[in-house]
Amino acid sequence: MIPVTQPFLPPHEEYQKYLDGIWTRKWLTNMGPLASQLEMELKEHLKVSHLLFVTNGTVALQMAIKALDLKGEIITTPFSFVATTSCIVWENCKPVFVDIDQNSLNIDASKIEAAITEKTSAILATHVYGNPCDVEQIEKIAKKHNLKVIYDAAHAFGVKVNGKSIFEFGDISTCSLHATKLYHSIEGGLIITKDPDMLKKLAYIRNFGISGYDTFAELGLNGKNSEFHAAMGLANLKYIEKIHQKRKELSLRYDSNLKTLKARRPIWSLQSENNHSYYPVIFETEALMLECMSQLLHNEIFSRRYFYPSLASTLPYIEKRALVTTDSISSKVLCLPLFYDLTFEEVDLICRLLLRTQNN
């Protein structure tokens, strides 16, 4: 059996050393020494201004919307994980969907202005598969219309734009450190801002709004994470370059083998390098995609229609809307297995099955 993804795990003894320290200190949560250490190491590794380690990527988005005091409408993408939209609704705002670019699969920046109304307060865009949005154009639009910008960078760990961390764009960026991600802390998330005052506000929000022994500064929630998750994050961070290199080599193997597949790959930003979080292919037809997916499954190889279907046409708590490019792409896209322990022989097998299916 070949799963679509599998978490990287460090050597057991390295994680155990962190656990031994936890047992000695008996400090399990509430921003213990390991969580604080992880924040410092990630800030240095990612070269960002300010960073908080939080419960997960979803809570990070909720905190971002709350911290920016957003109301009314938030322009967003229909081609993302459900949390991108559900967080908007959860915070009593209205998602306004803009169709995606057929090449990058990110929100089409050229269509954003047409969706802006007097009720628009922000743009929440996803760097799909880690591929950077048109951050320069989105910044221009936001400044022109006095809008806030949040980037859902759940897939974009380690990505840079012209040498600058992708997390440094927008008012706030968020990242997921879920076990399925390129880099993970089992469960976890990051929230990043350049503004020190915003960092202070987010830190209060993360801890119930508590500002002192018996005082409160903000409306808050429990967005903290545990020492056990921080330990995994610290252990895994030592291997991030090795993880990235292996995933890059596997992706290049796919590229070489699938040159004649009746499918295309998203076009990556010319200002950035692929972090190889996923290996998505967009088939020429949905029928061919379904045949290939079925053939892989028959051989106990799991792929994923990610993202399918379009959020704009699916969620029961919003007004449904058809969007031509999103609907077309989401019906034909398939993510193939990609993870550190995947072998080149397994990639070759997957590719042979795909090519054999399309040629039958």
Beta bridge partners of 53: 190
Q: What is the pLDDT of residues 189-220, one digit of tens each?
A: 999 999 999 999 999 999 999 999 999 999 99
Report how many helices (DSSP H) and strands (DSSP E) the chain contains, helices first. Answer: 11, 12
Residue 293 has pLDDT above 90, yes or no: yes
Closest CA to 166 of 274, 58, 244: 274
> What is the overall mean pLDDT for the chain?
97
Average pLDDT over residues 69-90: 98
Closest CA to 9 of 278, 232, 234, 240: 232
CATH topology of domain 240-359: Aspartate Aminotransferase, domain 1 (3.90.1150)
Query: What angle separates helix 240-257 from helix 227-237, to the nearest 10 degrees?
Result: 60
- The string over 207-231, giving b where at least 16 C-beta atoms fall within 10 Å of a residue's C-beta and e elsewhere, is beeeeeeeeeebebbebbbbbbbbb
The reported pLDDT for the residue numbered 2 is 98
Q: With the C-alpha atoms ordered 83, 86, 91, 93, is the resulting torsion angle positive or negative?
A: positive
The values of phi and psi at residue 175, to 5°, are -140, 150
Contact 219, 209 (CB under 8 A): yes
The reported pLDDT for the residue numbered 253 is 98
CATH 3.40.640.10 domain position(s) in the chain: 12-237
CATH 3.90.1150.10 domain position(s) in the chain: 240-359
Q: What's the order of all strands across the beta sheet hosting 279-283?
A: 263-264, 279-283, 333-336
CA atoms within 13 A on the CB side of 347: 22
The reported pLDDT for the residue numbered 332 is 98
**What's the pTM?**
0.97
The reported pLDDT for the residue numbered 336 is 98
The rounded distance, in Å, linking the Cα atoms of 97 and 77 is: 5
The reported pLDDT for the residue numbered 101 is 98
The reported pLDDT for the residue numbered 267 is 98
Please tell me the CATH code under which domain 12-237 is placed: 3.40.640.10
Q: Which long-range contacts (CB under 8 A, 24 or more apart) does 253-256 make?
A: 253/344, 253/347, 253/348, 254/279, 254/336, 254/338, 254/347, 254/350, 254/351
Q: What is the pLDDT of residues 148-204, one digit of tens each?
A: 999 999 999 999 999 999 999 999 999 999 999 999 999 999 999 999 999 999 999
Q: How many percent of the chain have pLDDT more than 90?
A: 99
The reported pLDDT for the residue numbered 334 is 98
pLDDT band at 360 (very low <50, low <70, confident <90, very high): confident
Indicate the length of the chain as a whole number: 360
- Among 54-63, 98-107, 224-233, 314-323, the range scoring the smallest mean pLDDT is 314-323
The reported pLDDT for the residue numbered 342 is 98
Q: Is 275 helix (H, G, I), strand (E, B) or coil?
A: coil
